[in-house]
Amino acid sequence: MSHLSEYDPEIAGAIENEINRQRNGLEMIASENFVSRAVLEAMGTPLTNKYSEGYPGKRYYGGNQWIDVVENFARERLKQLFGAQHANVQSHSGSTANMEAYFTLANLGDTIMAMNLAHGGHLTHGSSVNFSGKFYRFIPYGVRQDTHRIDMDAVRALAKAEKPKVILAGYTAYPREIDFKAFKEIADEVGAAFMVDMAHIAGLIAAKVHPSPIPYADIVTTTTHKTLRGPRGAAILCKAQWAEKLDKAVMPGMQGGPLEHVIAAKAVAFKEALEPSFVDYAKNIVFNAKALATSLIDEGITLVSGGTDNHLILLDLTNTGVTGKQAEVALDSVGIYTNKNMIPYDPRKPFDPSGLRIGTPALTTRGFDKDDMREIGVLIAQVVKNYGNETVYEGVRRKVKELTEAHPLYPGLTVL
Ligand SMILES: *Cc1c(COP(=O)(O)O)cnc(C)c1O
């Protein structure tokens, strides 16, 4: 019996149940993934005990010689992975990373241009209930109503009219490739800094399955736990000219002590992402997403922008008679995990929007292939089209069991 299950059966029990939920369900939330055993091990270490405010070689506390080794490996591997000039691996989350990037590039109250939240932007890209919308003047750009793709001519016209300090690209629900070069040209035309938030697509960029923003952007933020398949957290890359200001914006500007057990796990994940097998993984994410999109289209489901170039798919449920929230809850009940999502020009409200977002990073890690994806597309369509029909749901539950048993998650792992 583990120390945890002996001392705290309530928490140990909930952890055990959560592991079983992950094992027995289809994890299709586009922002989630399953880390390796090596990453898990690195996180659960006594590195959590150490205070190491500052940076390698310049700490506010003693006893950091081994912590410095860990953080230096994390920084160097991340720079190598993306070909970047400078890396900071201390950001606790994607949201704080974005705050730190804004602190570096702009002054409070400055104008920042970013994607409309209903068109795929993130909460930290200017939502009025988020620090971003309170600290800065955000001007949203969006996608075209007919193509659901970013209209670069409209972005240019808006940039010329608003003269932003920063132009931000990188999204949370945009299924298409992003033209970073075109954004950079517009930023240069209006004298703006160019920032990219690659949280969702970092793994695809690392594997060169999506074009890289590194040659163009002043600062690139990323989470480490999405397609990059590392621990929950974030990192920031930048051009050498911003390095000092950025490091100061992270600490002391925004954060205190870094989470070095998580930084150790980030280092392990970056090593994994440098392996040739990670390129195959990232390619398979996209193959799988395309197979799933085709399957859904064959089932008569409408997709925002008509398909996908990356790891995620946005279903437009408008003509199904089921809302995004209803679909999410129904799919939850059969063990298919997704999230409701706004679609561009959504007539409904954020808490019960018309869309559903799904993605393939997590299931691809489990070894699901394109045939599995075709089957999952049919299952999702069955649940949506037979909303409330328990007999159909029961059949889907059986199929989910077969699929998850064919691709076991963490085989042989006993955490507790
Ligand atoms: C997930 C995400 C974030 C925020 O990450 P957290 O770690 O949840 O704070 C920021 N930006 C984008 C584009 C994201 O997709």
Decide: 341 in ligand 1 pocket, CB within 6 A. no
399 and 301 in a common domain: yes
Q: Is 71 a catalytic residue?
A: no
Give the pLDDT band (50/70/90) at residue 414: confident
Q: DSSP state, 143?
A: B
Q: Which domain holds residue 318?
A: 2-30+277-406
Pseudo-torsion of CA 122, 125, 130, 135, nearest 10°? 170
Q: How many domains does the chain contain in total?
A: 2
Bond prior to 353 in cis (omega within 30° of 0): no
- Helices (H) and strands (E) counted in the chain, each on its own, are 16, 15
Domain closes at, from 273, 290, 306: 273
Looking at the CA of residue 234, tell me the nearest atom of ligand 1. 7
- Nearest CA-CA partner of 383 in 284, 315, 289: 315
Q: Does residue 35 lie in a domain region? A: no
d(CA 202, CA 222): 7
Q: Does residue 161 lie in a domain region? A: yes
Domain closes at, from 228, 247, 273: 273
74 and 222 in a common domain: yes
* Ligand 1 mutation pick, 90, 138, 197, max ligand atoms within 8 A of CB: 197
242 and 180 in a common domain: yes
Residues 263 and 104: beta-carbon distance below 8 Å: no
215 and 135 in a common domain: yes
Q: Does residue 411 lie in a domain region? A: no
318 and 192 in a common domain: no
171 and 47 in a common domain: yes
Decide: 223 in ligand 1 pocket, CB within 6 A. yes
Ligand 1 center from residue 196 Cα (angstroms): 12
Q: Does residue 241 lie in a domain region? A: yes
- Over residues 38-74, the pLDDT tens digits come to 999 999 999 999 999 999 999 999 999 999 999 999 9
d(CA 342, CA 336): 19
Q: DSSP state, 150?
A: B
46 and 16 in a common domain: no
Decide: 31 in ligand 1 pocket, CB within 6 A. yes
Q: Which of 16, 53, 151, 369 is catalytic?
A: 53
59 and 177 in a common domain: yes
Q: Is 51 a catalytic residue?
A: yes
d(CA 58, CA 44): 26
287 and 267 in a common domain: no
Instruction: Report the Cα 382 to chain-centroid distance in Å.
Output: 27
d(CA 108, CA 90): 23
Residues 6+ apart with CB under 8 A from 6: none
pTM of the model: 0.97
* Token pair listed for 394: 């029961």
Alpha carbon nearest to ligand 1 atom 3, residue? 94
Residues 186 and 158: beta-carbon distance below 8 Å: no
Residues 6+ apart with CB under 8 A from 243: 85, 86
- Over residues 165-212, the pLDDT tens digits come to 999 999 999 999 999 999 999 999 999 999 999 999 999 999 999 999
- Over residues 108-123, the pLDDT tens digits come to 999 999 999 999 999 9
**CATH (domain of 310):** 3.90.1150.10
Domain closes at, from 247, 273, 299: 273
